[in-house]
Structure 1
Amino acid sequence: MKIERLGQDKIRIFLTFDDLLERGIQKDDMWREIPKVHELFSEMMDQAYSELGFDVNGPLAVEVFALPAQGMVVIVTRGKMNGHVEEGQAVEDDDGEEELYEMEVTLEQSDNIMYLFRDFEDVISVARQLHSSRLTEDGRLYSYNGKYILTFESALVEQPQQNALIALLAEYGEATSVTYAMLEEYGKVIMPSGAVKQICTHFKP
């Protein structure tokens, strides 16, 4: 579980699938009214307070973004809610008082596998491996906050190959908590398509 502050009243929590499995939670459980999800939420808020001093006061808006290969991104915003609560859930704090938070579930529209690389040499290395193993010649390459992110549409890769693709990407890079929407807005496209093929063409060993 990785937590970072996005603003005074907003934090982002990255949950890997291992984080969920350790707690006996399936991906689809995240937007269900079950005790173990409440326990996970309480754990996240405790960790946010201890690591960032993010105090849970009043209503919270919670957005959950499912990423196909990496896990889930949970964005928590503290403050007054606008309008009515469609899926209001009551949570008791330590004093037994109930605090209301709104659970908004937002799923990524495009099914993208995304991995972050700190060094361009790692991007070249993984592209060569993907090319030589004939897994894919596709991919889109972004620069984001001084790092590089390779994205692939999982729908274009068959399941057995998808596992091999992710295993290779994980060797050189790391799963990222950046959502595709954030990448489109704040990242810069270096290669819009065929990134693996282009990298292998331009950077021959």
Structure 2
Amino acid sequence: MEIERINDNTVKFYISYLDVEERGFSRDEIWFNRDKSEELFWEMMDEVNEEADFIMEGPLWIQVQAMDKGLEVTVTRAQLTKDGQKIDMPDDIEERRKMFSSDDANTADFDEFEPVFDEPDVKKLEFTFAFNDVDELLPIARRLMYVPIESALYHFENKYYLHVSFDDLLHSEDDVKDNTSIISEYLQSSPLTIHRLEEYGKEIFKQDALSNVLYYFG
């Protein structure tokens, strides 16, 4: 992990997805599993504290930017006014993309923790694909190993169904087109909705289906 001390109140660090995996986390986990993302974040902050002598006190502003091969995280200790109420927000607030927070009272005083902005209203784009054998997912899982896609796997009426969803916070329209095109190279599109699969189908993997298929069948 690369650490850069910007000033007395701000530190920036970069962690590759390879480093993330070596620490025991998957790429899907850090985007879609809140507990795992928080665990990774505070593990990294412990390392930052040791190497950059950055003490976590009071409210923190946290910016996480997804890069091609890893994550760039900027952490700023928010400054309070003399009355102890108003927090001066970082200048680049409009560029904030994702927040981590923690319920662990031992790491910081989270009664004073203030988010940069309310969690955005994320739009979901969902797709369902049908196929005959789980092994057909393996080449897809390998090609999309490092793409943060929500995926679920069901069995219904003698066929398997892969349901995937993208959100507009992490994926551009081109990202969605590119990734669904990869899946379409191997599987057939299906009109079945996730609601019907959940109600009538047999659940195999409710989440992280592609990662699980690669782990158990790859």
Give TM class, smaller chain.
0.3 to 0.5
Q: TM-score, normalised by structure 1?
A: 0.41
Which structure is higher in strand share? 1
TM-score (norm 2): 0.39
